Amino acid sequence: MKKITVAIVALGLIVGLNSCKESTKEQVNDITDDMSYDDDGGDDDGGHSHDDGDHDHGDTLMIGKEVIVAMGSKSGSDVTGKIILTQGEKEVNMVVSLTGLTAGEHAIHIHENGDCSSDDGKSAGGHWNPTTEDHGKWGDHDHHMGDIGNLIANDEGGATLTFNTDKWCIGCDDDTRNVLGKAFIVHATADDFESQPSGAAGARVACGVIE
Ligand SMILES: [Cu+2]
Ligand SMILES: [Zn+2]
């Protein structure tokens, strides 16, 4: 507003040099109306001086970025498949497709280390928990950022799951949200959403690094 006022005064001086005070004032009002467009003036830095945070997420999210995570067998299982992550305007979309599972429920989590090198998958460490909460069910009061939940395999051992959340991002600057550098783990059995620290979901039967 200060800049506009200065501009108006300057214009007023130029336009109004030979006028009396009253007519200058009228012209200033006209100019003020004409100038009430700051937001579409891209080259005018005056319109952006109060940009303090509302746009931060939008500015740092890589909209449309896609990561395909190859899931490899662990603990002697036959489980393989892929998980596709896509950064939307607000949410990350996850699409899981797996084969080789035993029929029934299996926990799926994001674990803290992007390391699937060990045969038992334990190189991936514990659940990704950047906000230091207890293990739990997604959407409940306490849960790890990596507590996705359970997927259900059919009699042929196939399972699909889709999941969307605005609590994650793909490659943004916020360490409490960025999934890159972590790993997906699928377990032999279901997450009970209560046992600490990881839901008592048994062996790790598939692992894939998010990179
Ligand atoms: Cu897990
Ligand atoms: Zn957990």
Cα 188 to ligand 1 centroid, rounded to whole Å? 10
Coil vs helix vs strand at 124: helix
Cα 110 to ligand 1 centroid, rounded to whole Å? 7
Cα 146 to ligand 1 centroid, rounded to whole Å? 8
Cα 175 to ligand 2 centroid, rounded to whole Å? 17
Crossing angle (nearest 10°) for helices 2-16 and 21-34: 130
Q: Do 87 and 63 touch, CB atoms closer than 8 A?
A: yes
Q: Do 182 and 111 touch, CB atoms closer than 8 A?
A: yes
**Residue 59: φ, ψ to 5°:** -70, -30
The ligand that comes nearest to the alpha carbon of residue 199 is 2
Q: Do 189 and 107 touch, CB atoms closer than 8 A?
A: yes
One-letter amino acid for residue 49 of the chain: S
pLDDT given at position 59: 58
Q: Can the peptide bond before residue 130 be classed as cis, meaning omega within 30 degrees of 0?
A: no
The ligand that comes nearest to the alpha carbon of residue 122 is 1
- pLDDT bin (cut points 50, 70, 90) of residue 163 is very high
pLDDT given at position 108: 98
Q: What percent of the chain has pLDDT over 90?
A: 70
pLDDT given at position 33: 40
Segment 138-160, tens digit of pLDDT: 988 899 999 999 999 999 999 99
Cα 140 to ligand 2 centroid, rounded to whole Å? 12
* Edge-to-edge strands, sheet with 183-187: 147-153, 104-111, 183-187, 204-209, 66-73, 80-87, 92-99, 159-165
Segment 62-104, tens digit of pLDDT: 999 999 999 999 999 999 999 999 999 999 999 999 999 999 9
Cα 13 to ligand 1 centroid, rounded to whole Å? 71
The ligand that comes nearest to the alpha carbon of residue 189 is 1
Cα 199 to ligand 2 centroid, rounded to whole Å? 7
Cα 170 to ligand 2 centroid, rounded to whole Å? 20
Cα 193 to ligand 2 centroid, rounded to whole Å? 8
pLDDT given at position 35: 39
Cα 114 to ligand 2 centroid, rounded to whole Å? 16
DSSP conformation class of 102: P
- The CA-CA-CA angle for residues 130, 131, 136, to 5°, reads 100
Domains of the chain as residue ranges with CATH: 2-50 (no CATH), 61-209 (2.60.40.200)
Cα 84 to ligand 1 centroid, rounded to whole Å? 18
- Bridge partners of residue 98, in order along the sequence: 81, 159
Asked if residue 57 has pLDDT above 60, the reply is no
